[in-house]
Amino acid sequence: MKDWIGLAARLVTGGVWIVAGMLKLPDPAESVRAVRAYDLLPESIVPTVGYALPILEVVVGLCLVLGLLTRAMAVVSVVLFVAFIIGIASAWARGLEIDCGCFGGGGQLDGASAKYPGEIARDVGLLLASLWLVVRPRTRWSLDSLISPTRSGDLTDTDTLERDIDVEAQQGR
């Protein structure tokens, strides 16, 4: 059952990253405007973050959907969601009325703060799914399983670890 939960977490979170990144790629200047609107980063790095973020989102999303480097991509996903939650909460606390820029757009938007609770809740849910994958990266239908079929890599899978130790002991390692 846990493998199926992981598969769902991988596909949903990866799908969100792919959609978010792909919607930003056609207009990178808009992504830069969205980053700038938060008024959190030094201006010298705003363009770099604005241009790189959509590419990073697509790469993380593709890797999660494919189940490739799942734990590493889940860690990146956690870091991004924490940053986004902090960014939205900060904008809300400072009274900024900006589009989050999560799926394109960005910049000033009257009444945007009404959306902040829902955006934070969505990101918290996706953060929890990403954390699940950090702890249990082994899921159904993943490339990771094909690359290393006998190694779990899960922090919580003691049965598999014990089995691997037994196999290695029998092989004289």
Tens-place pLDDT, residues 65-93: 999 999 999 999 999 999 999 999 999 99
Within the chain, what is the greatest distance between any pair of CA atoms? 68
- Residue 171 vs residues 52, 150, 164, 166: alpha-carbon distances, Å: 47, 14, 11, 9
Looking at residue 85, its pLDDT comes to 98
Low-confidence ranges of the chain (pLDDT < 70): 149-173
> CA-CA distance, 12 to 65, in Å (whole number)?
8
> CA-CA distance, 100 to 105, in Å (whole number)?
8
Q: Spell out the residues 6+ positions from residue 3 whose beta carbon is closer than 8 angstroms to its own.
A: 138, 139, 140
- Asked whether the whole model's pTM tops 0.85, one would answer no
Looking at residue 153, its pLDDT comes to 47
φ/ψ region of 67 (left if φ > 0, alpha if ψ in -120 to 50, else beta) reads left
Q: Which residues pair with 102 in a beta bridge?
A: 104
pLDDT tens by residue, 6-18: 999 999 999 999 9
